[in-house]
Amino acid sequence: MSLFLALVVLSATSFLVYGALCLFSAHMVREFHRFGLARFRVLTGTLEMLGGAGLLIGLLYAPLLCVAAFGLTLLMLLGVGVRLRVRDGVWLTLPAFLLLCVNGYLTWVAWVRLTS
């Protein structure tokens, strides 16, 4: 398995799980209240699940992978910003930062593959 494929599967799985937790977990309801973003919880969870599915489907249709990875990169950029705004520590911010980096890399590789 290539690094690219492994990262796609890892990211897709992460976002499908996190998205479902956003939609159905009482803990995430409390977290979004703590962030001051309760009204965006369902949207965030839905976008995470769509992005995760888009990564997997994108393995068959490359332009979708590029769009999904870019969307998830933007979502995680916002996630890191929220974590910094509420002054969460490094350990709470790290997952969002790592997913930001992974999806940024996936976007770049997918874009290079599409344009070459």
Q: How confident is the model at residue 66, as a pLDDT? A: 97
The rounded average pLDDT for each run of 10 residues, N- to C-terminus, in the chain (116 residues) is 95 98 97 97 98 98 97 98 96 97 98 95
Q: What one-character DSSP code corresponds to residue 1?
A: -
Is 107:73 a contact under the CB 8 Å cutoff? yes
pLDDT, residue 1, reads 74
Q: How many domains does the chain have?
A: 1
User: Strands, DSSP E only, in 1-116?
Assistant: none
> Would the pTM of this model clear 0.85, i.e. be above it?
yes
pLDDT value at residue 10? 98
pLDDT value of residue 87: 97
Residue 38's domain comprises: 3-115
Helices (H) and strands (E) in the chain, counts: 5, 0
- Token pair 């799985």: residue: 13
